[in-house]
Amino acid sequence: MFVRRRPHLREKVTLITGANGEVGHGLIQHLYALQDASDVVVLDLRGLDDSMRGMVNRVIVGDILDNELINLLLNEYEIDTIIHLAALLSTHSEFNPETAHRVNVQGTINLLKLAIEQGKSRGLPVKFIFPSSIAVYGMPDLETKARVTAVKEEDFLYPITMYGCNKLYCEHLGRYYAQYYQQLSASRSLGVDFRCVRFPGLISAQTLPTGGTSDYAPEMLHAAIRGKPYACFVREDARIPFMMMPDAIKSLLMLADAPQEQLNHYVYNVTSFSLTAQEIAERVQQNFPDAQITFEPDTARQAIVDSWPADIDDSAARREWNWSPEYDADRAFSEYLIPIITELASHEK
Ligand code: SER
């Protein structure tokens, strides 16, 4: 008797790279709470924290620069969405610019190519969700930064960090792979469905970022709650936009879910509120009067923050996919940061 075998069906999944980073943790916990993480395959050099492993379909410990691994993913899964979070942040990248370039740019090309090949085999473009950053901007001087506040997507694109250059170039690569890839071949590629948000400085109540230049804000807060002194590495008047992690996750998922016919851009600014370092310190001190915060600016890191805009214009995202943040500065502190970090810190004692 011959048994008719069912053709092997590849499992349909969402791939999240860099899942063990700050945004990855927030995203996976959010999807898990919505019972929406069972089709998530995670790829990260460090795997995924033990406490979160059971939340997803599979954890792959590996490198986005490993082509064999990328081929394995291509053959094993039907990937309909890639959320590509893996990157080296701005301060970290300045210490290892060529490594940063490999991870941030070559890593992104590898995943865009994976998306192209997947798109071909399923006859439908893969959604490619990419977080970019305010680091793509380069304000020429402090006078211009003070004068031009809500900076639009297409203005002042002169990044002064390797990370900013990498992110800006990857935005262009996304547009290229979406619209022009193999434009001279007889059979045009389907491309990828590339969608990108430019994040401001992100602050999570649960985790601290590693290697970023906007890290002074979360570091100040997490130190105060644990009763530790903090020397802030930028001046009191340093001002950039910020966003709470739940809003960052919300923006990624809203953009991923937006009907394609509503989207007229590949890249969207998103923001919540802007504060100076002094204003953040004051809000921390209102809640923790004993907080010991001093300002000891590091000239080089200060220059990076000075090159980032004081505020960005996110009206395209608001108009085209109804973006709006949940947390303004008041709610961010009173309803998100202070209660959650206080609760977490109490368990550490
Ligand atoms: N938070 C990032 C960094 O500081 C900027 O997007 O590198």
Residue-wise pLDDT for 220-245, tens only, equals: 999 998 899 999 999 999 999 999 99
| Ligand 1 site, residue 238, Cβ cutoff 6 A | no
Q: Is the pTM of this model over 0.85?
A: yes
Q: How far apart are alpha carbons 191 and 202 in whole angstroms? A: 30
pLDDT of res. 149: 84
Q: Residue for token digits 């502190």?
A: 333
Question: What CATH number corresponds to the domain at position 262?
Answer: 3.40.50.720
pLDDT at position 349, please?
Answer: 66
Question: Is residue 43 included in any domain, yes or no?
Answer: no
* 172: CB partners within 8 A, 6+ apart: none
The DSSP 8-state label assigned to residue 315 in this structure reads: H
Give me the pLDDT at residue 1, please. 46
Q: 126 C-alpha vs ligand 1 centroid, how far in Å?
A: 27
Which range of residues forms the domain containing residue 130?
A: 87-202+242-272+311-330
Q: Using CA atoms, how far apart are residues 141 and 158, in angstroms rounded to an integer?
A: 12
Cα distance between residue 333 and residue 288, in whole Å: 12
Measured over the CA atoms of residue 190, residue 43, residue 14 and residue 319, the dihedral's sign is negative
Contact (Cβ atoms closer than 8 angstroms) between residue 204 and residue 22: yes
Please indicate whether residue 93, judged by its CB atom, sits closer than 6 Å to ligand 1.
no
Structurally, the chain folds into a number of domains equal to 1
Q: Please report whether residue 96 resides in a domain.
A: yes
Structure tokens that stand for 62 in this block: 């590996």
Residue 324's φ and ψ, nearest 5 degrees, are -160, 140
Distance 290 CA to ligand 1 centre (A): 28
Structure tokens at 138: 């380069």
Q: What is the rounded distance in angstroms from the CA atom of residue 50 to the CA atom of residue 330?
A: 34
Q: Give the distance, in angstroms, between the CA of residue 297 and the centroid of all CA atoms in the same chain.
A: 26
pLDDT at residue number 4? 52
Instruction: Report how far ligand 1's centroid is from the alpha carbon of 89 (Å).
Output: 6
Distance 134 CA to ligand 1 centre (A): 7
Residue 297, pLDDT score = 98
* The pair of three-digit structure tokens given for residue 111, joined into one six-digit string: 């995943």
Structure tokens at 11: 């499992």
Structure tokens at 288: 């923790």
How many whole angstroms from 92 Cα to the centroid of ligand 1?
A: 10
User: How high is the pLDDT of residue 320?
Assistant: 98
Q: What are phi and psi of 243, to 5 degrees?
A: -150, 145
15 by Cβ neighbours in 10 Å (0-12 / 13-18 / 19+) ranks as buried
57 inside domain? no
Ligand 1 atom 1 nearest Cα: 201
Q: Is the CB of 212 under 6 A from ligand 1?
A: yes
Distance CA 98, CA 103 (A): 9
Residue appearing with tokens 């809000």 = 283
Residue 290 placed within a domain: no
Is 47 part of a structural domain of the chain? no
For residue 120, being part of any structural domain is answered with: yes
Q: Is the CB of 307 under 6 A from ligand 1?
A: no
Q: Is residue 14 part of a domain?
A: no
Residues of the chain with pLDDT under 50: 1, 3, 5-6
- pLDDT at position 347 is 83
Task: Identify the pLDDT of residue 244.
Answer: 98
Q: Answer yes or no: is 15 within a domain.
A: no
Contacts of 211 (CB under 8 A, 6+ apart): 88, 89, 90, 91, 92, 93
> Is 241 a pocket residue for ligand 1 (Cβ < 6 Å)?
no
Tokens found for residue 242:
């910020």
Report the candidate in 14, 21, 24, 33 with the shortest Cα–Cα distance to residue 73.
Answer: 14
